[in-house]
Amino acid sequence: MSRVLVTGGTGFIASWCIVALLDAGHDVRTTVRNLARESQLRQTIHAGVRFDDARLTVVRADLESDEGWADAVAGVDYVLHVASPTLRNEVVSEQAMIDAAREGVLRVLRAARDAGVRRVVLTSALGAIAYGHPNQSAPFTEEDWTNLDAELAPYQRSKTLAEKAAWTFLEEEGKGMELAAVHPAAVIGPVLGPDDPPSLRIIRGMLEGQLPACPPFGTSWVDVRDVADLHVRAMTDPAAAGGRWLAAAGRGLRIVEVSRILRRQLGERAAKAPTRELPLPVARLLSRFNPGLRALRPQLGKNFYATGAKAERELGWKPRPIEVTVAETADGLLAHGLASA
């Protein structure tokens, strides 16, 4: 088996990638910004898989600095670059977010190339594919790119530009190293520990009755365990090299549909979940004053539905039914005290 570097090991997707790799027999090295989190990280991974602690190494490296990356990639066969830079200032400009995302990706790619890594799997996002296309009706595929000329949230713009920079680097400076990009849709699923992944906060908000009505838009969804599985397939399958791979399960769902699934699956424990969708004109009006809706303004009234058919067809990927994932997400949040019914 291989030795694999996973960046940002304390993250939601990264921790499940580590679980999947260890379960498949690979040895794993992972980066954290602060080694004080190593004990908690190991506890989290042990909650997902039984393994010999010697097979997991934790090292310090920060995407905002060159320090530590040469050691992090030394001797590894593959890199799963899952981490995103965390800008620790309370308010940052869009350009600062873009620069941090792009430079973080390039920093890892340079170190991987110089160390002779075979292949890097980049965690991109649906946000680099599906945004800025107002008249899209068919599901988005890997052939699509987010329209950078449209009104976009800083996150979608930064993920798009970071991925474009990665492909340009590979073509111009990769020196034979391979690259594959995984594009998760909205990621939900069970938690391994007490951390509160940002992608699960909408489920928590539904359970706790924080949303009187759901914002009017839809997206594709995917189980975090299936995202991890697709990363491993993109790492090992010869067919994955040079490709973009969407991780999206089944058809897309409106936010209100997810909330209604919660009610059906959890019964009284999800009694506070909303069953109505906010009318679009009302949502647009409220977005002028409500910070949460303001951040969603480019998404209001749209459906960001995508298909994972390419990964299913070419890599043998088989995602779970999203209805099951919704229920298991809520169960995990409640069990770990991250949400209250």
CA distance 65 to 29: 18
CB atoms near residue 287 (< 10 Å): 18
- The CATH class of 3-199+220-252+305-325 is alpha beta
DSSP state of 319: P
pLDDT tens-digit series, residues 16-53: 999 999 999 999 999 999 999 999 999 999 999 999 99
pLDDT tens-digit series, residues 209-245: 998 999 999 999 999 999 999 999 999 999 999 999 9
- Residues annotated as catalytic are 159
Q: How many residues does the chain have?
A: 341
Place of tokens 């920060």: 62
Read off the pLDDT of each residue in 126-137 and give the average, rounded to a whole number.
88
User: According to the model, what pLDDT value does residue 88 have?
Assistant: 47
pLDDT tens-digit series, residues 108-118: 999 999 999 99
pLDDT above 80 (res 89): no
β-partners of residue 79 are: 5, 120
Apex 173 CA angle, 124 and 167, nearest 5:
25
CA distance 327 to 57: 33
Contacts with 264 (C-beta within 8 Å, 6 or more apart), sequence order: none
